[in-house]
Structure 1
Amino acid sequence: MTTASERNDAQPAVTVIGLGEMGFALAGAFLEGGHPTTVWNRTAERADPLVARGAERAATVRDAVAASPLVVVSVKGNATARALLESSGDALSGRSVLNLTDGTSAESRAVAEWVGDQGAQYLHGQIMTIAPGIGGAETVVFYGGSDAVFHRFQPALRLIGGRATLVSADAGVPALYGMAVHGTMWGALNGFLHAAALLSSEGIEVKRFLDDAGPSVAALLGSFPMMADEVDRGEYATQYGALQHHRPSVEDLVRESEARNIDVDFPGYTLGLVNKALENGHGDDSYSRLIEHFRKR
């Protein structure tokens, strides 16, 4: 039976399956946005504060799925997400599933295919924030999958994050986007912490360094579009800043780190990449050439 709230396209009913830290925040955002919200969690007591705020507690996953046209899943792992959805039986048919569970691109695609086979539409989302950031105007969420689901529920999706973007019809792409951001983040953070250790060994305040070197650090991000263009074109020859000119600076960083008893694994890895590229005759190419090292053949 279709309820009045299900027919309300302005504020459709939403179900949230999984009330961990992120799922709890999601359910709260939908409630605050005025959406009739049904919740289910394996540990039922976790829903108590949400029920006190107006949420409906479903006794089973099947009941939760049947309650709303939009079913949001936020659990640990896509295997768990699929198992829970499977337990809803034929209640899934005709619904729209938004899976916000972390995992690989292949896992996302597998869940998308299975959901489609059940007569439901599928959208996968990759949230680029921690739970307190849910609902922020600048919070980024990458979506992939059904264009129809994205546009039908776009107002509700913006309650999760103001920067909601449908990046592909392929449900696996959001996971790749997320991993690309995280990979860039960890590389940058590790580089910065190595730099901080180097500076601290001299008694230099790291904040002072940032005040003085801010423009140089900011310029690094400004180089990404140029590198992206080189990678996309597969053309790396450059007039300035070629790999052969990087090597002396990396060697200096390794020697300085050794002299100060700072771990050299991070700059040493970079030096190894540069040396290998030079040995292969790429000394006149830009730093982007090193992507070939990461592409296993």
Structure 2
Amino acid sequence: MTMVSMTTHTNSSATPVTVIGLGAMGQALAGAFLDAGHPLTVWNRSAGRDDALVARGAHRAGSAEEAVRAAGLVVVCVVDYDAAQKILDPLAEALAGRVLVNLTSDTPERARDAAAWAASHSVDYLDGAIMVPVPVIGGPEALIFYAGARAAYERHESVLKALGTPAAFLGEDHGLAAAYDMAMLDFFYGAMGGLVHAFALARAEGVEAAALAPYLNTIAGILPPIAASTAADIDSRTYDGAGANLAMMTASLDHILHTAHRHGLDAAQLEAVKAVSDRAIARGHGRDSWASTVEALGGA
């Protein structure tokens, strides 16, 4: 059997890129840059994680500073901002005048703090949030958010699209990418909690999860238009409940809670949802849409 070489050929006119942090996600980012033909320099605190990338044509930097000085575009992806700052703090002078793209996941507040640090050291800074798992990186479905220095984004947009075609720029507030990330994961984890609880309730009633799963697509299929209409209600604060009002839906919650309690299931998530809907009804939103519960959550 003929073996096919996986060596990536770089384009001499392509933008050089440095990737710092070679965990699973960092390796995927680096591989995507290589696939797109960008000269690549890599560095990782722990040795050995760059072997496959070097075999494909990446340059192994001997130090973090060498890695930074090798390219005008530096991408960092590590476990959190504490780890990122431990690496970046000693590199402030080397980073000056370069574009730093931080794809480390953390909070909007931490993103803005990092941006302030970068500005104080004359570093053009983009904060990003990766919204897909490792295998999707480099493909058309790889959604990555960016926020921060617009000029830096526009200068390197075509390079960043090597990681994922959307490469969505959200604005110059450096916290926006993390804000979108937190909001989307809030929805995801809430939905996953509801999904597993639904399977637990079904199992308690003698229904196998695999038997219920195909029918859940009915609910999943109506979520996109529900998301759009709920967003419109919240932004306009109109909360039209003509189709299905909050009081009616809260009554359905009572039925689910009764069933869950009868089987001794942990219903903390459902009870929290019910508590919010009860507060919204107490504030006069019983005839409004479910979106009106946002008024019982606090915040801005």
TM-score, structure 2 normalization:
0.90
Secondary structure at the aligned position of 1:45 is classed as coil
Residue 275 in structure 1 maps to residue 284 in structure 2: no
Partner residue, 1:261: 264
Partner residue, 2:5: none
**Shift of the alpha carbon at 1:17?**
0.9
**Shift of the alpha carbon at 1:81?**
1.8
Contact 1:241 1:286 in 2 (8 A): yes
Residue 39 in structure 1 maps to residue 42 in structure 2: yes
Contact 1:61 1:87 in 2 (8 A): no
Deviates more, 1:161-170 or 1:149-158: 149-158
Residue 82 in structure 1 maps to residue 82 in structure 2: no
Partner residue, 2:3: none
In structure 2, the CA distance between the partners of 1:212 and 1:20, relative to structure 1 (3 Å rule), is closer
**Shift of the alpha carbon at 1:237?**
4.6
Which of 196, 200, 211 does residue 197 from structure 1 map onto?
200
Contact 2:138 2:163 in 1 (8 A): yes
Which of 40, 56, 59 does residue 59 from structure 2 map onto?
56
Contact 2:138 2:162 in 1 (8 A): yes
In structure 2, the CA distance between the partners of 1:137 and 1:55, relative to structure 1 (3 Å rule), is same
Residue 92 in structure 1 maps to residue 62 in structure 2: no
Unaligned runs of 5+ in 2: 1-10
Q: Where do residues 225-240 of structure 1 align in structure 2 (5 Å cutoff)?
A: 225-240=228-243
**Shift of the alpha carbon at 1:254?**
0.8
Deviates more, 1:112-121 or 1:36-45: 112-121
Partner residue, 1:206: 209
Cα distance between partner residues in 2 of 1:30 and 1:185:
29
Cα distance between partner residues in 2 of 1:216 and 1:45:
46
Cα distance between partner residues in 2 of 1:144 and 1:11:
23
Matched letter for residue 219 of structure 1: I
**Shift of the alpha carbon at 1:220?**
3.0
Residue 164 in structure 1 maps to residue 167 in structure 2: yes
Contact 1:123 1:171 in 2 (8 A): yes
Contact 2:276 2:297 in 1 (8 A): no
Matched letter for residue 195 of structure 2: F
Per-residue CA distance 1:91-124 (angstroms, 9 max, x = gap):
2121111110111111111211221222221111
Cα distance between partner residues in 1 of 2:189 and 2:207:
24
Contact 1:38 1:56 in 2 (8 A): yes
Secondary structure at the aligned position of 1:11 is classed as coil
In structure 2, the CA distance between the partners of 1:68 and 1:237, relative to structure 1 (3 Å rule), is same
Unaligned runs of 5+ in 1: 1-6
Cα distance between partner residues in 2 of 1:179 and 1:216:
23
Partner residue, 1:117: 120
Deviates more, 1:212-221 or 1:138-147: 212-221
TM-score, structure 1 normalization:
0.90
Partner residue, 2:72: 69
Contact 1:100 1:125 in 2 (8 A): yes
Q: How many percent of aligned residue pairs carry the same amino acid?
A: 36
Tell me how many residue pairs correspond in the alignment: 290
Cα distance between partner residues in 1 of 2:214 and 2:88:
51
Cα distance between partner residues in 1 of 2:245 and 2:65:
60
Residue 137 in structure 1 maps to residue 146 in structure 2: no
In structure 2, the CA distance between the partners of 1:216 and 1:62, relative to structure 1 (3 Å rule), is closer
Cα distance between partner residues in 2 of 1:296 and 1:168:
22
Deviates more, 1:246-255 or 1:199-208: 199-208
Deviates more, 1:268-277 or 1:159-168: 268-277
Cα distance between partner residues in 1 of 2:51 and 2:215:
51
**Shift of the alpha carbon at 1:15?**
0.5
**C-alpha root-mean-square deviation of aligned residues, in Å?**
2.0
